[in-house]
Structure 1
Amino acid sequence: MPLHKVIYLSNNTKLYLWKITEDFDVLFSQVKLKDSSLARLETMKSQSHQKGFLAVRMLLQHNDYSDFDLYYDEFGKPHIKPQNCHTKHVEVSISHSNDFSAIAISDQKVGLDLEQLKEKTVLIAPRFMDVSHLENLSKEEKIKKATVVWGIKESIFKIKNEKGISFPNHIFEDDFSFEDKKVTAILKFNNKEENFKIQFDSEEDYIFVCCFEE
């Protein structure tokens, strides 16, 4: 299946979703990979991860980039090389979960997380969030909200990417309802406080969360 959806998060930020319905060979035949990416692909034991990896490259190609434009820094954070001296600086964040791959492209720092809705997220919620935020909600609402909170913390971590950041002890989201589609959060770490704006929504049985530095 081609590109599933483009979501306009702001004037300068777009989220691209690819629903993975192709088999591995179809995806592999349509992307060009540098040697290091081929080697990385071969180390992946799960075909789901392999297809997610390739689908991300399909999304890059949709945006006139390629695997050769994508590189990772020493902390594992993805970046896109400027294509020429006239190209504006571009930030990218990547996520994959089961049947979907996603990338967010922006001219500001962005963190993206994509998660499938699962009951397990509520079971492990005490490990990463203030569970009082789940009180008086239905089972379905608890799953959605806990998944958004996990995505908030994961997407903030993707922007900051600093060793020692703890989800429950350093990242705090304001309370929200799922219908809000946005919320603010704060990172308290290394004697510093940093604020973030969050946008979130659902697509089929998945939740996506995008975070931006204030």
Structure 2
Amino acid sequence: MPLYKTIAVNSQTTVKIWKIEESFHDLMDGTSLKSESLSRVKGMKSELHQRGFLSVRHLLASFGYSDFDLYYDENGKPHLKDGKEISITHSFTFSGIIISDKKAGIDIEKQRDKIAKIASKFISYEFKYLDNTKADYVRKLTVIWGIKESLYKLFATPGMLFKSHFLVIPFMLEDLQTKAWIDYNKRRIGYKCEFLEFEGFTCAYTIEE
């Protein structure tokens, strides 16, 4: 079972990351799915997406849950029936889950040069401290995207925009953490965000304090 990494963030919060190495059939073997989940996975055109979906179910099992314990609200935010908070992500060959007593969000992204081409669509303030001539530019952009995505998943509120409503303060990659702000609907809230890099991927997660 390729459980790649387990992070005990604190006594109330755990992150688990899965490296997707198995075939679709191996991941399906022994996995029980609700009828709607089975229809969803069968309807996916990409086997990579199918494997990502199923790997998340294996991550759930590693926490002691199954697909039957998971449901989604009208905004697409996942929930667990026992009231624990959950956030889910998958990207190419990695998937991840964060489960906490508090609201949380997680994102995994592959580090790709093309993120530089869309930077102006999701950052504004952050351009003040980023240097696009540095070798770590793409890695820092990926961290910022992941943090903003994790915040968006935490809130799951239609109308929130990465560029306008989320702000990530300056950070060093070796810090493995930073602070971000949400400025939305006359509310300004600060969050501590953590991140890590592995095999050309970045994982970022945020927990409500």
Which whole-Å deviations, capped at 9, do the CAs of 1:58-89 have from their partners, x for residues lacking one?
0111111000001101111001111xxxxxx4
> Partners of 2:64 and 2:183 in 1: how far apart?
38
Q: Structure 1 residue 186 and structure 2 residue 171: aligned?
A: no
Question: In the alignment, is the contact (CA less than 8 A) between 2:2 and 2:21 conserved in 1?
Answer: no
What letter is aligned with 1:138?
A: K
Q: Give the C-alpha shift of residue 173 in structure 1.
A: 0.9
Q: Structure 1 residue 165 and structure 2 residue 160: aligned?
A: yes
Partner of 1:134: helix, strand, or coil? coil
Of 114, 121, 133, 2:129 maps to: 133
1:123 — aligned with what? 117
Q: Structure 1 residue 92 and structure 2 residue 86: aligned?
A: yes
Partner of 2:205: helix, strand, or coil? strand
Q: Give the C-alpha shift of residue 213 in structure 1.
A: 2.2
Q: Is there any run of 5+ residues in structure 2 with no aligned partner, and where?
A: none
Q: Structure 1 residue 30 and structure 2 residue 25: aligned?
A: no
What letter is aligned with 1:63?
A: F
**Normalised by the size of structure 1, how large is the TM-score?**
0.93
Q: Give the C-alpha shift of residue 44 in structure 1.
A: 1.1
Q: Give the C-alpha shift of residue 5 in structure 1.
A: 1.5
> Partners of 2:147 and 2:80 in 1: how far apart?
23
Q: Structure 1 residue 79 and structure 2 residue 79: aligned?
A: yes
Label 1:65 to 1:123 Cα distance change in 2 as closer, same or farther (>3 A): same
> Aligned residue pairs: how many?
207
What letter is aligned with 1:52?
A: G
Which whole-Å deviations, capped at 9, do the CAs of 1:143-172 have from their partners, x for residues lacking one?
110000001111111011111111111111
Question: In the alignment, is the contact (CA less than 8 A) between 2:32 and 2:67 conserved in 1?
Answer: yes
Q: Structure 1 residue 42 and structure 2 residue 42: aligned?
A: yes
Partner of 2:58: helix, strand, or coil? helix
Partner of 2:129: helix, strand, or coil? helix
Question: In the alignment, is the contact (CA less than 8 A) between 2:111 and 2:138 conserved in 1?
Answer: yes
> Partners of 1:65 and 1:160 in 2: how far apart?
23
Question: In the alignment, is the contact (CA less than 8 A) between 1:186 and 1:194 conserved in 2?
Answer: yes
Q: Give the C-alpha shift of residue 136 in structure 1.
A: 6.6
> Partners of 1:5 and 1:30 in 2: how far apart?
22
> Partners of 1:49 and 1:32 in 2: how far apart?
18
Q: Structure 1 residue 210 and structure 2 residue 196: aligned?
A: no
- Tell me whether 126-135 or 181-190 shows the greater mean CA deviation: 126-135
**Normalised by the size of structure 2, how large is the TM-score?**
0.95
> Partners of 1:74 and 1:160 in 2: how far apart?
13
Label 1:32 to 1:188 Cα distance change in 2 as closer, same or farther (>3 A): same
RMSD: 1.3
Partner of 2:191: helix, strand, or coil? strand
> Partners of 1:13 and 1:142 in 2: how far apart?
30
Q: Give the C-alpha shift of residue 10 in structure 1.
A: 1.9
- Alignment identity in percent? 43
Q: Is there any run of 5+ residues in structure 1 with no aligned partner, and where?
A: 83-88
Question: In the alignment, is the contact (CA less than 8 A) between 1:170 and 1:187 conserved in 2?
Answer: yes
> Partners of 2:110 and 2:203 in 1: how far apart?
9
Q: Give the C-alpha shift of residue 189 in structure 1.
A: 0.9
Question: In the alignment, is the contact (CA less than 8 A) between 1:195 and 1:213 conserved in 2?
Answer: no
Q: Give the C-alpha shift of residue 30 in structure 1.
A: 2.7
